[in-house]
Structure 1
Amino acid sequence: MELNKKIDEMKEELIKSAQEVIKIKSTLDGEKPGMPFGEGVGKTLDKALEIAADLGFNTYKEEEGYYGYAEYGKGDDYVAVLGHMDVVPEGDNWIHPPYAAEIHEGKIYGRGSLDDKGPTMAALFGLKAIKELKIPLSKKVRVIFGTNEETGSSEMKVYNKKEKVPVSGFTPDAMYPLINAEKGIRRFHIVKDLNPSEGKIKIKSLKGGIRPNMVPDKCSTVIGTKDPDGIVKAVKDFAGKKGYNMKTETADGDVVLHTFGVGAHGSMPEMGKNAVMQTFEFLGTIIGGPSPLAEYINFFNKYVGFETEGTSLKIACEDKPSGKLSWNVGVAEINDKKADLWIDMRYPVTADGEKIMDTVSMEFAKCGAKIEDVKADKPLYFPEDSKLVKILLEVYKEQTGKEGKAYGIGGGTYAKELSNIIGFGPIFPGKPDLDHQANEYIEIEDLIMNAKIYAHAIYELAK
């Protein structure tokens, strides 16, 4: 256990280095020369490279400032550790300053302490322990400092164009024991052109949701009608019957309907209550006569509704590694010219994403709607008997004394941005996932344990 002993000796230096990068606010900002994602992100990258150089590593910074890395060892093949130095905005309700990296009760508080600055420093010091002990490796090791994971990972597109693919590796952007399956994701718009309604009821506008990967918890609809009292009563009766939270107000002769649901992550839409689909269900009871909008709403009510697995659309599927397909109506925008719903669909790792999308397109063509602006994110899957999974789970077991099992998720980690790597830590089972939350912190004990696990993982992959 020489590696662990060496890491214990470097404990204070690791803590200090983690604090140094956490103290720099590195949210996305306006582009500057050599800083494509803003000054804060650029300064954090420079600080990470400075720390790596002080530890004795060879460092490299991409000429336009998209990424950097620290390297140790020789050879053409390399093992990669991919972390990111950018963070999401801090938000409100912090009990300690979000960029002070203060230590309270054995915890380092700060945005990025857990996602990903602290764990990336842990990996760097794990490699430092190998270097200090002069442990021989057969492959080069590269700790990569990404800069845009939180807002698109566009820096990795540059990296993948310029750099060779690693032979193996991991990202400290997940959870323990290990994530071996990440569903494929398709985000797209289902659009239909409309004609202004000439009937007694007109939907002047409908807006719900803020992001496709979130279950919308609010939806507001402006209903034009010659009988506002009748609409108000219909809403009250419908909401009472269904148990929905719906409120109305009148403005300039129109009825404004506010529907309140329950938000949830788009990868688990069954955990929420979709305010948009509740609104659609009501609108289906009051829109009479054939019209493009009625056809659109009625089709959604019949073939989507509150289903989150795509059963009526004939796309439901599941597999053992990653579970069931999920379907979330995340954002809705309707006016008198166009109906536009944004969908977040996540499909099992062994399913064919293109065939699923073909089915979706054919089904919605039946109501005159079309699919636009498809954003595709391929699935990631390492079988449980793959060498990378077996090595990392064995390291986890040896260092924690606990059996670990690989599992799949509906979300995505940084591992999808670089071939041959997998999500491994830093969050231990039973510990809170504080990524993107107020009062984000990493326990110092966990920071040190991560360094030990990552040191042994790097050695096993590169020995």
Structure 2
Amino acid sequence: MSDEAMGARGALAAAYGVAGATGSITGAGLTPAAEIRAYVDEVWPSFLDDLEALVVVPSVVDESRAVAGAPWGMECHRALCVAMDVARRQGLSVVDCDGYVAYGELAGETPEQVATIAHVDVVPAGEGWTVEPYALTRREGVLMGRGVLDDKGAALASIYAAGFLARRVRNGWKPQRTLRCILGASEEAGMMDVRRYLTDHEPPAFLFTPDAEFAVCCGEKGCVNAEVSRAVDSAGAIIELTGGVARNAVPARAEALVCMDACVDGLPRAEGIDVEPVGDGTARIVAHGVAGHAAEPAGTVNAIGVLAAYLAACGVCSAAEREFLGFCKRALGVWDGSGLGIDVADELFGGLTCIGGTIRTQAGSFVLTLDARLPGAADVGQVGRRIEDVAREYGCEARIIHVREPFTMDPQSPEVMALRRAYEEFAGRPAVPFAIGGGTYAHHFPRAVGFGPLDRAEPLPDWVGPEHGPDEGIWERQLKRALAIYIRSLESLLNPKVRIDPKLG
């Protein structure tokens, strides 16, 4: 996590006047911690087999290949089927909601519902991997592969946690509430899966998504997503622009196909730039950057910004093209939004971030996508209008395609306290709540938080990449511990005999 994000984590605790959740959960019916750890050790070989079966599926959303029962494309459907099979084997009743989403359920004494929600789709692999992205690699205690961290490993952990409780039910335990493990398949492409789910299903009484970090994520920034476009200049030098793999990821590579005849002396060399003649008076210019998640852009280098700066400076482009490139340079030269005049920060969330995720040539226009993450101090409407105004200064059109307000949940609520205590029991450190710049499924539900599986208290080696980056990975011990934490959390939430200390809850 970046220094800025760590500051947001501390600020949330300070804002609510809370620290750890030290104190026991009282009440009957809780499984001894040693028994939970023994279960995790017992099932771990099977867990890794299932994780490998899930990671090998390149489940990137592709609606162009949608068919009945597979609205997000066949690979996402294949991943969903793998996860549903695991849920069945864990003793859950499985429902496929027309391929949009699925869930496994463990019935309780009442229909009141506690739920988890995780996703089995992933962002594209992208460039820069040193291991096979669509395979499970174990290296020096780390699990690596696309989706191991975001979010296939955690999805399986939630299912296996429910499997432990299903085993308890077979041995006579009666949970008061019903547990539902929801599995999405379009989280990385706009979360249309959960939107569809909520059109047909009531939200649970409480939900957590294992698609964040520990201890508990009780706040998420808002967002403004935009597309900035300008018509291709038929008399210009740029034939095509392309770059990036997802709107919400800083791109490591961007390319331009240009007409060499526009520059008598040829194209100059520059750091981070490769020039490849392709014949017929054209050249391919490839810009290289450093990838990362849109929510944590510190330390990244946006390849689109590198490409735009190079093209604008090399004397190849027409005036109209330089205007579009000028907007790209201004927007992407820094990631705090100051280039567009939208930079703002507050104590709870830290600062605004803004990145360009993709650039494409489509329908006769160059199109740049922007992903801005907003703290509570920002006005969502004003940020959108400012992007539109700056785009007009450069002869471009900005279209706001999605907005979301920031949200928080009280970290001292009884449900969150149950999660915090579960974390403290198995991690052995205070469960300090925090806020993030990323967006998870949680903001679609009235009472929800993000909860693991990554634990920044145990930094990964520098050869391990982040979610959305190359060499994505997580400590194997952290994923094992997350499974134990989820078991305790769900067991507590399903049993009303488990009392929350009123002084803390």
Q: Same fold (TM over 0.5)?
A: yes
Aligned pair count? 442
Q: CA deviation at 1:206?
A: 4.7
CA distance in 2, matches of 1:326, 1:337: 30
2:241 alignment partner in structure 1: 207
Could you say if the C-alpha distance between residues 134 and 146 of structure 1 is closer, same or farther in structure 2, counting changes exceeding 3 Å?
farther
Could you say if the C-alpha distance between residues 178 and 130 of structure 1 is closer, same or farther in structure 2, counting changes exceeding 3 Å?
farther
Q: 2:451 aligns with which of 420, 424, 444?
A: 424
Could you say if the C-alpha distance between residues 6 and 246 of structure 1 is closer, same or farther in structure 2, counting changes exceeding 3 Å?
closer
Question: Does structure 1 conserve the Cα–Cα contact (< 8 Å) formed by 2:357 and 2:369?
Answer: yes
CA distance in 1, matches of 2:96, 2:118: 16
CA distance in 1, matches of 2:371, 2:458: 28
1:98 alignment partner in structure 2: 135
Map 1:124-163 → 2, pairs under 5 A:
124-128=162-166, 131=169, 138-150=176-188, 152-163=190-201
Question: Does structure 2 conserve the Cα–Cα contact (< 8 Å) formed by 1:52 and 1:124?
Answer: yes
Tell me, what secondary structure is at the counterpart of 1:272? coil
CA distance in 1, matches of 2:145, 2:311: 45
Worse-matched range after superposition: 175-184 or 36-45: 36-45
Q: Residues 153-201 of structure 1, C-alpha deviation per residue, up to 9 Å, x if partnerless?
A: 443233211111112121222221122223233332211235444xxxx
1:461 alignment partner in structure 2: 493
Tell me, what secondary structure is at the counterpart of 2:198? helix
Matched, 1:72 2:110: no
Residue type at the aligned position of 1:457: S
Q: CA deviation at 1:265?
A: 3.1
Q: 1:10 aligns with which of 7, 15, 39?
A: 39
Q: Residues 323-346 of structure 1, C-alpha deviation per residue, up to 9 Å, x if partnerless?
A: 211121233346995332222222
Query: Normalising to structure 2: TM-score of the pair?
Result: 0.72
CA distance in 1, matches of 2:466, 2:331: 33
Unpaired runs of 5+ in structure 2? Answer: 1-29, 497-505
CA distance in 1, matches of 2:487, 2:324: 56
CA distance in 2, matches of 1:142, 1:249: 53
Could you say if the C-alpha distance between residues 107 and 272 of structure 1 is closer, same or farther in structure 2, counting changes exceeding 3 Å?
closer
2:3 alignment partner in structure 1: none
Q: Residues 264-287 of structure 1, C-alpha deviation per residue, up to 9 Å, x if partnerless?
A: 333333423334333433444465
Could you say if the C-alpha distance between residues 411 and 133 of structure 1 is closer, same or farther in structure 2, counting changes exceeding 3 Å?
same
Q: CA deviation at 1:142?
A: 2.2
CA distance in 2, matches of 1:295, 1:316: 22
2:424 alignment partner in structure 1: 397
Question: Does structure 1 conserve the Cα–Cα contact (< 8 Å) formed by 2:340 and 2:390?
Answer: yes
Residue type at the aligned position of 1:268: E
2:382 alignment partner in structure 1: 355
CA distance in 1, matches of 2:256, 2:293: 20
Worse-matched range after superposition: 164-173 or 149-158: 149-158
Residue type at the aligned position of 1:73: G
Residue type at the aligned position of 2:297: P
Question: Does structure 1 conserve the Cα–Cα contact (< 8 Å) formed by 2:119 and 2:183?
Answer: yes
1:262 alignment partner in structure 2: 290
Residue type at the aligned position of 1:450: A
CA distance in 2, matches of 1:267, 1:328: 9
Tell me, what secondary structure is at the counterpart of 1:79? strand
1:83 alignment partner in structure 2: 118
Tell me, what secondary structure is at the counterpart of 1:267? coil
Query: Normalising to structure 1: TM-score of the pair?
Result: 0.78
Q: Residues 115-134 of structure 1, C-alpha deviation per residue, up to 9 Å, x if partnerless?
A: 33431234214534664676
Q: 2:230 aligns with which of 170, 192, 209?
A: 192
CA distance in 1, matches of 2:321, 2:294: 26
Question: Does structure 2 conserve the Cα–Cα contact (< 8 Å) formed by 1:182 and 1:349?
Answer: no
2:503 alignment partner in structure 1: none
How much is the aligned-residue C-alpha RMSD, in angstroms? 4.0
Q: Residues 182-231 of structure 1, C-alpha deviation per residue, up to 9 Å, x if partnerless?
A: 3233332211235444xxxx4233524223322343433514546521x5
Q: 1:177 aligns with which of 211, 215, 225?
A: 215
Residue type at the aligned position of 1:47: D
Residue type at the aligned position of 1:269: P
Unpaired runs of 5+ in structure 1? Answer: none
Could you say if the C-alpha distance between residues 139 and 376 of structure 1 is closer, same or farther in structure 2, counting changes exceeding 3 Å?
same
Map 1:240-251 → 2, pairs under 5 A:
244-248=271-275, 251=279
Question: Does structure 2 conserve the Cα–Cα contact (< 8 Å) formed by 1:179 and 1:408?
Answer: yes
